[in-house]
Amino acid sequence: MPKAAHHIFLLVLVTCFSTSANAAASLQKCKETLENFRQLGNVPEMLAESYGYAVLPTIGKGGIGIGGAGGTGCVFAGGKHTGNISMGQVTIGWQLGGQAYSQIILFKNADVYKDFTKGQFEFGADATAVALTYGAAAGASTKGASASAGDTRAKGAWKRGMAVFTLVKGGLMYEASIGGQKFRFKPVSH
């Protein structure tokens, strides 16, 4: 890709992510996304063990070499909506494509929840998520063939008091790291 085209693509990409990140996820959309996760893997068991959780209904991600991601969501503790979050991520390294996915972050105890909701939180480079899908898909294009397969029964585990699951909504991305995701928490007043 010529350098000028690469810069135009990145400008469009950043514009798309900033637009989607500014449109806050509704509480209804967060609850619907939570119900989707409850049907997959060992999410129900881990939810029952958790102190709280954050749900991001849609995260948009894309890039060519340099990538970005963004989305908004809701945070809950004891089943009550306690605040909203926005997430941003910039990645550098080999990556190509675009993707939309949902994400849920489970907090095992109050200390981990409080650390996440202090205001700003960032996943370290070693952070991982369990990818869940409803099935398998394959496709072909002029660029070649692609395939993705998911597991509705994938199992998550607690790591540093958190468990993270993602659910692909569409698109194709050859890089799936959550390391570097930065979250900004804003409490709701009741």
Top-confidence residue, 63 or 51: 51
Chain centroid to Cα 58, Å, comes to: 7
pLDDT in tens, 111-156: 999 999 998 899 887 787 888 865 433 333 333 333 334 445 678 8
- pTM of the entire structure? 0.74
Of the chain, the percentage scoring pLDDT greater than 70 comes to 67
Mean model confidence pLDDT for the chain: 77
Q: What pLDDT is stored for residue 13 in this prediction?
A: 46
Q: What pLDDT is stored for residue 93 in this prediction?
A: 62
For residue 62, name the pLDDT band (cuts at 50, 70, 90): confident
* For residues 8-23, average pLDDT: 44
